[in-house]
Structure 1
Amino acid sequence: MNNYYTLIYLNREIKEKICDGFFDFAISPHKDVLHIYIKTKEETYRLIFSANSRETALFLDYYRPPKKRNVLDFFSSLEGQEVSEVSLAKKDRLLSVYFENGKHLLFKLFSGRPNVFLVDNNQITDAFKNPESHKGEAPPEPMAPDFKEEVSPKRSAKNQMTEVNPLLPRNLLPYLIEQHDVEEMPPAKVKAFTRQVTQALREDPHPRVLKTGDFCLWSREWLDISTNKQCSEVNDCVAYAYKNAVHLRRLHNKKEDIVRFLKRTVEQKEGTIAQLSQSKKSLERADRYEKYGHLLMAHAHESISPGTESITIKDFYEDDEEITIPLQEGRDIAQNAEYYYEKAKDARKSYENAQKRLPVEKEKLETLQKLLDEIDQIERLPDLNSWIKDHKKKLQQIGFGDSDDKQAKSPYRKFKVGKYEVWIGKNAKSNDQLTSRAHKEDIWLHARGVGGSHVVIRMGNQKDYPPKNVILKAAGFAAYYSKAQGMKTAPVMYTKRKYVRKPKGAAPGAVVVEREEVEMVPPINPQEIN
């Protein structure tokens, strides 16, 4: 989102608005998000920074008082300090906000670990993310990429363009290449074309957010993709693109959670209906069992030897053809007849129950499919929240979501990591319950070599492993709820639940684990994750 050329314009716009303003305070209202409040004579701004590697962004937003009162303050040594300068590193995504006391905030807007560092005398004294591991280090230095004069003729058009200018917004290059047939250009022409589009970025910006959700500085002449929002300032479009990305992520996560549940329930209902539709077989069995009973009663006066497993008699329903009827051990012929009469009665009852359940289950399936169709059309988070509220009773009836009371009474803790539910044992007995209730394809985790909670990532019968970041986060939970809680990093083993077994007579919580893998992770308190 904050490409280098975007930052060129952002730097100017932010500098113009906050220079001579004063640092008020900084808080983190959400995970990986920092809000820095800057007071000027005219108004108070929020400088918003996202350290989420998928949504890295920096922009100014209008003032809004913080909603949470119990949030942690950051960079308190800057309170009351005047902003003296805002500058962007040459050819690198490092933006600095300088203060009158000589300190500055360095925004690192690249790599998989974006961060904000407080720098004093060329040394990091504090940081937004993982401050303890950065204190005392030298701040990141600008590292201008290598701009090549000649391009490699055998490389793809995208690689040729990034050889000429590595700072181009790579997410947009495929569209640009397709529109202008760059793949068909000889290397010299690719080089000339790259310099033209670079000049357009530097001298003729048209800030807009595309229908794809991407921020773009090129006009439609260069990149003919429909526009979602056109802006006079780059900052406004970056803010819009970021908020839209966050909105879509939250919508997707919340929506997918419900959709997965509904689809799984639909499959279960379809299976139930398929079984109930076979109920005629119960009626056929009932007729057969009743016939066995009648035939046996006709021979009730006869005796059988102990251990006789079957009897062959004439079937007067089928022109006296011989029929062999299995017998129950320890019962005479009359008692076996009663046994088959009971089985006939049960089979008929099963048929009648199936006939009663079938329309009910079909109606439930229709409801589920209707809910799926409705939720598929929802494209805004407020609409989804309203839909959930309107259908709360119906969703609860089909088993979606536990009430607060059920959560409180649960034998183990429950948290969410993205779309995945994570269970954490509370004690040895709880660990046993958790592991025994987990599905064989769930992911089981435990801090290695120390006592602690069993942790399970619920997989919903999926046989694949979840994304690595989900495993690492759940592993962090396992480390936190163990005797390794005070360690900087701890080894945590994980495997499929089907490779975890409890030996006969083992103490509560004790298990044997096979095929485990191990990750070194820092302990993470799930209750502190926003």
Structure 2
Amino acid sequence: MLRSYFTLYHIADELHERLAGGYLFEIHSQQKNEVMLAFVTPDGRHEQLVVTVRSPHFSLHMQEGLNRKRRNTAGLMKEVYERQVTGVAISPADRQISFELDDGHAIVLRMFSAETNVLLVRDGKIVETFKEGRKLENTPFEETSADIPYFRALETLANDPELFVRKLKEAGEDEPLDRRLLTALPGFDRKLVRRLLDVAESKEPEQLHRTFVALFYDLTSPAPCVIERLGEPPRFSLFEPLDDGPFTPFESVLDAINHYSRKMYRHLRQQEKVTSVKRELSAKIGKIEKELASADKHDPEELAQQYETYGHLLTGAIGTAEPSGDSITVPNLFDPGSSDVTIPLKPRINLQENAAWYFTQATKNRKRIQANKLRHAELNRELDDLRQKLQALDHATGSPESLRRLLETSGSKSDKDQHRKQEKKHPFRAIPLGPNINLYIGKSAANNEKLTFGFAKPNDIWLHARGASGSHCVLKGAGMHNLSEIQRAAEIAAWHSSAKHSELVPVMYTEKKYVKKDRKSPGSVILEREKVVMVKPMKE
């Protein structure tokens, strides 16, 4: 539903409300398949629209503040920098959002599933693109034409039951019902059709129409939410879930999309770690199984018995047989009717010394048997442990926090050593909020002081719930202009305070250089130039 026409319709409407009358500041890309459009709103705030292409997990989302491009990142579509945004609108019958600029250019977000792209258009021609420039630049820009916009066509169907039934028949009575609905309902995708069929009490046309009418008015005034269930990736929806599962409601579609994007980013990072740890566990299991299989091919007891037999036969042959080169052939005294036995010899020593050497090797092999038994027991215990960890990761359905603990216990020795080094270096809770942006949380009063006055750098951002006891928090990798990350850090800081159960909590934040120790009150600080943001406490 991320790229559903109706999701994009409401996003375009909200973007128009936020950005029309402001101006486009710059466009650049810092991550592969991700382009950032920076805007200044009419009231002077910085907003960034992040568009992700070629990803099933992300479409677009907003960030407050200005995340300036790095030195090695080239700007895109520079000719429209600092142009005023006159309006934002979606094509009436296509998934394309246009930002109209005052100089006649338009930035077009083409939000097709496999072909998401950002285009710079002027006078009906594509001037520049984010992707596939050689193929698309200097070609005509054509919008999908439609006699009636999607919403107007759906409204007509909602008000005319007979037309709805007729459209279903025209879609082909021999076709499956879901395909007929896709054909009859403009803008509907498979997920919306599936919801319609799930909600409908019967598949009779009249009942389908009544269900469609309710669904259509839900689409015109949606209840956006993010559905988060243990062991599953987050899901964005324009509707509350049909079952009683947990979900987080939002006032606007953009707010829901932003929350979903943060949760999905963290989920994917954790899944990457799960995949890496599972690959490492599987490699270790394979190595141990190979070692055990190789050991089964060689029986030390059989070899020890053979060496001991050779020693006895050589002892019996002293004075009765002569070596021939590097071996000697003697009768098998232990099995008189069998063939003679040829025994390899060490050429520089006599038969007695060779016999002693074979007795020594027999003793060594018997000692090795005991060591091998201990080794096999150890390997089998390790193998069982690794298999249990792999099975636990395969069936992990707990919270992100429990999965994080499971990953820590399942990780490699080098990972654990690295974690211990990090803990020794800075023994604080660390939470990633974005690429190269981490939030550190104090664990106790002494730990708070070490975090604030020992670990934090002058330009790091310091946060704490106002008027409540709780953890000091330090945001690294972000600046005071990164308002989205500060907002998220403030929500977590509020959760790690005594006000965590309040509906809204004021959280102070400022650069660490403006935080001073309060000598009169141990454990307290004095702030300068602090700002306050009201947030709902949210667990990381």
**Same fold by TM-score greater than 0.5:** yes
CA distance 1:310–1:64, shift in 2 (3 Å):
farther
Distance across 1 between alignment mates of 2:332 and 2:62? 93
Q: Which deviations, in whole Å up to 9, do the C-alpha atoms of 1:225-273 show, x marking residues without a partner?
A: 6342211111111222233333322321232012111122023224435
Q: After the TM superposition, which residues 373-452 of structure 1 pair with which residues of structure 2 at under 5 Å, given as runs?
A: 394-395=413-414
How far apart, CA to CA, are the structure 2 residues paired with 1:352 and 1:172?
Answer: 67
Tell me the secondary structure at the aligned position of residue 5 of structure 1: helix
**Separation in 2, partners of 1:346, 1:227:** 65
- After superposition, the Cα gap between the structure-2 partners of 1:399 and 1:86, relative to the gap in structure 1 and judged at 3 Å, is closer
* Residue equivalent to 2:343: 327
CA change 1:366–1:305 in 2 (3 A) is closer
Letter in 1 for 2:64: Y
CA–CA distance in structure 2, aligned partners of residues 247 and 79 of structure 1: 32
2:17 is aligned with 1:16: yes
- Classify 1:228/1:64 alpha carbon distance in 2 versus 1 (closer, same or farther; 3 Å): farther
Offset at 1:194? 6.6
Q: Where does the alignment leave 5 or more consecutive residues of structure 2 unmatched?
A: 154-166, 420-540
Note closer, same or farther for the CA distance 1:11–1:330 as it changes in structure 2 (3 Å cut): closer
1:485 equivalent in structure 2: none
Matches within 5 A, 1:168-247: 168-171=188-191, 173-174=193-194, 177-178=197-198, 180=200, 185-186=203-204, 188-189=205-206, 192=209, 195-196=212-213, 198-211=215-228, 213-220=234-241, 223-224=242-243, 226-247=245-266
Distance 1:340 1:7 in 2: 83
The offset of 1:49, in angstroms, is 1.1
* Structure 2 counterpart of 1:98, one-letter code: E
Aligned residue number for residue 254 of structure 1: 273
| Residue in structure 1 matched with residue 51 of structure 2 by the alignment | 49
Amino acid at match of 1:68: R
Aligned to 1:161: 181
Deviation at 1:360, TM superposition (A): 4.9
User: Is the 2:408–2:416 Cα contact (8 Å) retained in structure 1?
Assistant: no
User: Which range moved further: 202-211 or 78-87?
Assistant: 202-211
The yes-or-no answer on 1:142 pairing with 2:144 is yes
1:324 and 1:154 mapped to 2: Cα distance? 87
C-alpha separation in 2, matches of 1:227 and 1:245? 16
User: Could you tell me how far apart the structure 2 residues matched to 1:385 and 1:76 are?
Assistant: 43
Q: Shift in Å at residue 81 of structure 1?
A: 0.7
Secondary structure of residue in 1 paired with 2:301? helix
Asked whether 1:93 is paired with 2:114, we answer no
Contact 1:95–1:108 under 8 Å retained in 2? yes
- Could you list the per-position Cα deviations for residues 179-231 of structure 1 after superposition, in whole angstroms to 9, with x for gaps in the alignment? 5476xx25x357526733551343341111234633222344xx336342211
Displacement of 1:6: 0.8
Instruction: Give, in whole Å, the separation in 1 of the partners of 2:118 and 2:407.
Output: 37
How far apart are the structure 2 equivalents of 1:374 and 1:262?
A: 12
**RMSD of aligned Cα (Å):** 4.0
Taking the aligned partners of 2:82 and 2:398, their CA distance within structure 1 comes to 43
What is the correspondence of 1:471-482 to structure 2 with a 5 Å cutoff?
none
Distance 1:329 1:337, change over 3 A: closer
| Larger displacement relative to structure 2 (18-27 or 167-176) | 167-176
Is 2:196–2:211's contact at 8 Å kept on the other side of the alignment?
Answer: no
1:82 counterpart SS class? strand
What is the aligned partner in structure 1 of residue 501 from structure 2? none
- Does the residue aligned with 2:18 lie in a helix, a strand or coil? helix
Match of residue 133 from structure 1: 135
Structure 2 residue 25 is the aligned partner of structure 1 residue 7: no
- What is the SS of the residue equivalent to 1:313? coil
How far apart are the structure 2 equivalents of 1:276 and 1:175? 58
2:408 and 2:109 map into 1 onto residues whose CA distance is 40
- Count residues in correspondence: 391
> Structure 2: which amino acid aligns with 1:109?
M
CA distance in structure 2 between the partners assigned to 1:293 and 1:78 by the alignment: 93
C-alpha displacement of 1:114: 0.8
Return the alpha-carbon distance in structure 2 between the equivalents of residues 83 and 209 of structure 1.
30
Aligned match for 1:298, one of 299, 309, 316: 316
Please name the residue that 1:74 is paired with: 76
Alpha-carbon distance in 1 for matches of 2:304, 2:18: 85
User: For 1:327, what is the secondary structure of its paired residue?
Assistant: strand
Alpha-carbon offset, residue 284 of structure 1: 3.6
Which whole-Å CA distance do the structure 2 matches of 1:309 and 1:137 have between them? Answer: 90
Normalised by the length of structure 2, the TM-score is 0.61
Output the CA distance in 2 between the equivalents of 1:201 and 1:293.
92
SS at match of 1:314: coil
The worse-fitting range, judged by mean Cα deviation, of 253-262 and 100-109 is 253-262
Q: Which of 53, 58, 61 is the matching residue for 2:60?
A: 58
Structure showing greater radius of gyration is 2
Any idea what SS the aligned residue of 1:243 has? helix
TM-score, normalization: structure 1?
0.63
Residue by residue over 1:404-458, the C-alpha shift from the partner in whole angstroms, topping out at 9 and shown as x without a partner, is xxxxxxxxxxxxxxxxxxxxxxxxxxxxxxxxxxxxxxxxxxxxxxxxxxxxxxx
Corresponding residue for 1:108? 110
Match of 2:301 in 1: 283
**Percent of aligned pairs with the same amino acid:** 20
Hey, what does 1:442 align to over in structure 2?
none
